[in-house]
Every structure is written in structure tokens, then in C-alpha cells.
Amino acid sequence: MTTRDARAPGLAALAALLADETRAACLLALLDGRAWTAGELARHAGVAASTLSEHLGKLVAGGLLTEERQGRHRYVRLADARVAQLVEELAAQVSPDAVAAPRTLRQSSAGSAMARARTCYDHLAGRLGIAVTDALTDRGLLTQDTGFALTAAGLAWFDATGIALDRRGRRPLARGCLDWTERRPHLAGAAGAALCGHALAAGWCVRIGSERAVQLTPTGERALGDLLGLDPTTLH
């Protein structure tokens, strides 16, 4: 007689949480790393506020979201980077053929912007994220031989560029995250978060629209060109 794995009930409960289109839409929206109000998510998902509130309650109870209240507003965000990684990597498994083609010019433009450059929770993704990852690897600052890892030169590079890197947290310094548009891993972990945070704070990138899309600014083009030899024409 076989003994059922004790993790089976938890895995089944997690799968049930994800197996709803409205909850999936909320999780994907929250990959921008920011806190959203319940009303904002309801409008994004196209459901009534009362319906969305029920879904959020399940996601919070299941440990995928955290919530806080400020006055009459209820804010939710992804619980942590592990949840973001789970959602992004599951999204990357969806076949391109299963994704509905954009029906309007606005949807097409938004999709193109997301593919070009976006945030994935707290790190860079899309063609920009891949380009930065490749540039770091080509310069011997990052290795992908047996998983992602910063080299000694890479650690020195972060120090020299003034990008604050948290080396004391429980989060790995470097981790590969499968990019759902490029189908290749981009840099995540503490290094990915530090680089993305610095890029936004220094004006290398700016958020555009209501999605996760970001745009590389002329300042960012010069900075990444000087620091990593990045050619911005490859991102178009």
C-alpha cells in the first residue's frame, strides 16, 4: 500500500486557487510589484467589486496575497517574491497559440510595450530584461552555467556603479526567472531587484500606461550603453 505524499492536499489547494480566470488576472496584474486597491483590481478584471472581494479573500487566506487597510481602502499585493516567481513561470508555460490576439490597436500597442520592457514583480523583464542579463553574462559579471550566480567581478560591478545590493537577506543574490514573452530566463533575485529599483529611481526607465510596461529613457540608454555596452536598437 502506498502512502500519499503529505504535500498533496496543499498542492491541490494551491492549484484550486490558481484555477480561476479572475484570480489569475489579479495575480498577473500584481506582478508589477505595487499595491492595488480592490476597486482597481475589480475594474482590471472586469468584475463587480463584491465578486472581486470574495476572490481576494481566498487569495489572502491561501497565502498568495497580503493586504492592508488605509481608511476605507483595502490594498493588496503579492505576498513575496516566491509567489511572483510561481505566477511568472506558470504564465511562461502558456502556449502563445492559447493567447487571444489583440482586438484593438490599444491592446496591440500595450502588448508590444510589455514585450519590449516591463517589470516582473521587482526586476526587469521582456527584451530589456533579457538584454541586460545577456550583457552581464557576456562581461563575466553573471554566470548561468549551473544556475544564475554573480561572479566576484559582478559583485564589484554593483559596488562600483553604486547599486545597493542586499547581501544579507534570505533571498538569493541571483536567480533566473523564465520570461513569458522571450521564453528565456532573465535576472531575478536580490541583484535583479536592486538593478530594477536603481533603474527606476535614476530615471533610466519610466513606467508607462496602467500595465507593467516600462520605457527606457535617453538617460537609461546612455547609462546602460556606458556600463554594459547595451545597444538600445536591439530592443525595438
* 76-90, 107-121, 126-140, 201-215: least confident range: 107-121
Task: Kindly state the average pLDDT of the residues 133-148.
Answer: 94
Predicted confidence at residue 100, as pLDDT, reads 53
In this predicted structure, the answer to whether residue 211 has a pLDDT above a threshold of 80 is no
Q: Across-strand partners of 36?
A: 76
Kindly tell me the sign of the dihedral angle through the C-alpha atoms of 170, 77, 188, 176: positive
Res. 180 pLDDT band, cuts 50 70 90: confident
Radius of gyration of the chain measured on its C-alpha atoms: 19
Domains and CATH numbers, the chain: 8-79 (1.10.10.10), 85-95+106-235 (no CATH)
Res. 85 pLDDT band, cuts 50 70 90: confident
What mean pLDDT, rounded, does the chain reach? 87
C-alpha cell read off for 110: 500595450
Tell me what percent of the chain is helix, strand and coil, each rounded to the nearest 5. 50, 15, 30
CB 113 within 8 A of CB 215: yes
d(CA 192, CA 207): 17
> What percent of the chain is predicted at pLDDT more than 70?
91
Predicted confidence at residue 191, as pLDDT, reads 96
* 29-33, 103-107, 124-128, 224-228: least confident range: 103-107
The b/e string for 35-61 (b: 16+ C-beta within 10 A; e otherwise) is: bbebebbbebbebeeeebeebbeebee
One-letter amino acid of 35: A
